[in-house]
Amino acid sequence: MSTKVNHIAIIMDGITTWAKQKKLPRTLGHLKSLRVLNKIASEANNLGIEELSVFALNSANYAENKEFYQVIPNLYARPRNFAAIAKTDYRIKIIGKKNIPKKTQKIFTDIENATKDNTGIKLNICFNYSFKDELHGAIKKTTDLSNFDNIIANLEITTPVDILIRTGGKRRLSDFLLLQIYDADIYFTDKYWPDFTTGDLISAIKYYNRK
């Protein structure tokens, strides 16, 4: 399938609800989420998409329950999961490493180092993220504030998003990449993230390509 899409962003919503409906522990919901992310990133890579940015966890939820949400990096660090990540062709960047435990920072740094020389899709995983924090950091790093492009150049993610996908049925942007999506198409789906498939990804791309 030909695609004009270069950068896809996804708000991976509905993980906890999915687990509750199936009467499963939330941990299993996040494990399924990680596996779905790998399938979606692999399909995007095969389609020639250059960049994929995913909203794994916002900073407000992390602040409310830091102990539970350590489960996400711990899942990444499991030997089987880490080995699977390291074998991919993705270049992984973790966004939002501020104010997290050193152990978690090491997990994320190890993932970045294991994939930094890969040549495939750039996969940005936004953990403990808010756009307000990203923008504040960019402004602090910008010496010349008279040109707004200078601020954009100092964002963690600088590439404009072509299409933003949100799973889980909600219709809002939730403080995610608010400058990067300024000209993006928005694609909402009622499917929860653990049920999202490569076919759903292709449907979203076709929606974008309808223009």
**Taking Cα atoms as reference points, which of 52, 43, 141, 49 lies closest to residue 92?**
52
Query: What CATH number has the domain spanning 7-209?
Result: 3.40.1180.10
What digits encode the pLDDT tens for the residues 130-182? Answer: 999 999 999 999 999 888 899 999 999 999 999 999 999 999 999 999 999 99
**Rounded Cα–Cα distance for residues 61 and 73 (Å):** 15
Model pTM?
0.92
| pLDDT in the model for residue 50 | 97
Q: How many other C-beta atoms are found inside a 10 Å radius of the C-beta of residue 155? A: 20
Residue ranges per domain, the chain?
Answer: 7-209
Active-site residue list: 13, 61
pLDDT of residue 116: 92
Residues contacting 180, CB < 8 A, separation 6+:
7, 9, 53, 155, 157, 158, 159, 160, 161
Structure tokens at 207: 């929606």
Structure tokens at 102: 């050193």
